[in-house]
A and B are shown apart, each in its own frame.
Chain A
Amino acid sequence: MISWLILLPLALVFPAAPTHGSVVQEESQQATAIPVGVPRWSRDVVLGGTALKVRPADTETPLIVRIDSISPHGTDLRYDFEYYGLEPGTYNLLDFLQRADGSELGSLPALQLHIESHLPPGQVKPNPITQGDTPDLGGYRQAVWLLGIAWGLGTLAWWLSRRRTDHAAQALEDTPPPTLAERLAPLVERGVRGDLPLEDQARLELILIAIWRKRLGLQGLPAAEVLVQLKQHAEAGVLLGELERWLHSPADADKQTGVDPAQLLAPYRDLSSEDWDREWEATAPRPGTLGQGG
């Protein structure tokens, strides 16, 4: 099957093959014109007579021929030719051969070749190569682009998130902690209303002690000494004494003590933290005056 496919075009190219010699040539090289400079082969070309050789070529030779091999074929010889044209035109391959023994070629069938140039006449250099588009390699470039965009967006999102977190942390850091007065306010409100839970009663007492400790500048004293000093202070001593009776005396003694939580806590009800701070600064005792304030 394959041989038929090869032989059919050869039969079309060499319709007048002599009976004493057959020519079998490569597919398509005779069917179409051969470009200048492009080698072609004609194999198993049987020619009668003595052995042939290539005529010596010079700079003007339009077709370069080479005999690859010669092998006997009955009384004839079988040749494998290789050739390429340097000038466009139609040539007989035999014109470039001669008998090795110097005898005449005799009547051999012509081996026609058509060499043509793809360049316009007069053009020596080849056509410039036009650069085509980079072939699509399975979407690699798109994937790289997408990855790059995703990385960029991710980095941007991370940076924005971190910036926001930093701002929040900075804002939290810049926010001053609640003052003692701010902590005290909700407890006082509930104490005045009379619905202060047990845990908050304990907190209320401790915060009031802390407030008076700060107000009288007793932070440097041991805790035990602080309360002793506070009890000796005219204002703090009365307050803390009543607070103790309210919070710590036995339940059946409440009526005896007559402590009214609302009245007790009233002075602490409407003071803002700024008021406290101002008052503390104004009333801070001078060193050595503690306990003499009435």
Chain B
Amino acid sequence: MSQSPPTPNTDFSQSSQFIQDVRERIAKVVVGQDVVVERLLISLFTGGHILLQGVPGIAKTLLASALSKAMQLDFSRIQFTIDLLPADILGSEILDQSTSTFRTEKGPIFTNLLLADEINRAAPKVQGALLEAMQERKVTIGGDPYILPAPFLVIATQNPVEQSGTFELPEAQLDRFMLLHRLDYPTPDEERIILRRNATLGVQRRDGGAVVATEFDVIDESPVGGIEDIVAAMEAVQSVHVSDTFLEHVVELVGRTRKHPDIELGGSPRAGISLIKASRARAFIFGRNYVVPEDLFALAEDVILHRLRLNYEALADGKTTAVVLQEMLADMGSGDGANLKGQSLSPGTNGSTVTAGA
């Protein structure tokens, strides 16, 4: 999806350069996926977490790895499986026989950037342990609390196709993710570039032998910024202005999700909060010091869609949350005005039904 050209803002010039450098660095190894990079930055700058939903092989791990190296962040990856235990993520106390004392072995969650690969393959108690840590930003090992590093961003992934042997995240846990972004396949042009790049990777000599090089091997290890830049960006995001008019838009959209006849579970207050947080970060990324409706419309699907649940009648009719949400967005302004005040409005005149990927 194309984006509006960013309007440079002198206040954000330093951060804008940092963001531009990050994007360029990632683009060297990951083709396309500009929107995903934007969503990752939004999550990072707002302290939220992101769930990426897409089929395997579309560079989710590569993207997280490139992002961590570009920003000089610690990076861990956990492949979630059915036999994973909470201690495998959080850490545990281990008896040191030399001193006959317990020492704490911190788990892979103690990192800045955690890639929780295929989170829906782990048992609910493991999912719960991770999601609790995401929420509280601390873990308890052997009765002692440990604060997680800052910044702390969880990039979870799940495969939407193969659902056998998985534990679907319930709505209450999905709500912990600020964003759920649905990854698409690259466009044909992007795919040609991917194939050309891959064909030129060659082999890498190692320990007298050689391995076929991968995209991970070509990631530039030198960072373009550090935690200080991220902190500056986080502070800048907090200075982005949110107008009362924009708040009205958010209130109306969230209210519509609660009143829509096809929806059983609408957006929570956290959805509205997340929408504003994400909008501020997006405005910052695009060099604005105030949010605009474009931010809301661009982020609505990623912020709100996973918090909605259709009712039985809508499911029986073959509707999807994506279609219903697009209908609601299209009806804002031209629709029935169910949540509007001051004027009685009748159903929309355009009656458009926007199709979107489910």
Residues of A whose CB lies within 8 Å of any CB of B are 177-180, 183, 186, 197-203, 205-211, 213-214, 219-228, 231-232, 244, 247-250, 253
Contact = CB atoms under 8 A, between A and B. Distances in A.
Interface stretch (B74-82, B213-221, B284-292): B284-292
B292 A244 contact: yes
B354 A223 contact: yes
Contact of B2 (A179, A228, A244): A228
A228 B4 contact: yes
B226 interface: no
A74 B151 CA distance: 146
Interface string B334-355: 1001001111011111101011
A220 B354 contact: yes
Interface residues of B, number: 43
In order of increasing CB-CB distance, the 6 nearest A-B pairs are: A206-B333, A223-B329, A210-B334, A219-B352, A202-B248, A210-B333
Contacts of A244: 292-293
Given A199-B341, A223-B300, A250-B290, A206 B349 contact: no
B338 to A, nearest CB: 12
Given A183-B343, A201-B245, 16 more contacts: A179-B349, A180-B334, A198-B248, A200-B341, A205-B245, A205-B293, A206-B293, A206-B333, A210-B350, A214-B350, A225-B1, A228-B2, A232-B4, A248-B245, A249-B289, A250-B241
B329 A228 contact: no
B295 to A, nearest CB: 9
B343 A202 contact: no
A203 B345 CA distance: 11
Contact of A224 (B1, B332, B342, B346): B1
B243 interface: yes
Contact of B297 (A211, A219, A224, A232): A224
B227 interface: no
A123 to B, nearest CB: 89
Contacts, number: 122
A248 B294 contact: no
B245 A247 contact: yes
B182 to A, nearest CB: 12
B244 interface: yes
B245 A202 contact: yes
Nearest to B332: A206
A179 B329 CA distance: 18
Contacts of B249: 202, 205-206
B244 A198 contact: yes
A222 B326 contact: yes
A211 B348 CA distance: 11
Interface in B259-313: 289-294, 297-298, 300-301
A225 B4 CA distance: 10
B293 A227 contact: yes
Contact of B300 (A177, A224, A228, A232): A224
B34 to A, nearest CB: 13
A201 B252 CA distance: 13
Contact of B333 (A207, A228, A231): A207
B343 A186 contact: yes
B356 interface: yes
B290 A248 contact: yes
Contacts of B131: none
Contacts of B4: 227-228, 231-232
Nearest to A187: B343
Contact of A227 (B248, B294, B301, B348): B294
Nearest to A250: B241
A244 B245 CA distance: 10
Given A177-B346, A247-B243, A249-B290, A223 B341 contact: no
Nearest to B329: A223
Contact of A248 (B2, B291, B352, B355): B291
A224 B349 contact: no
B342 A200 contact: yes
Contacts of B341: 199-200
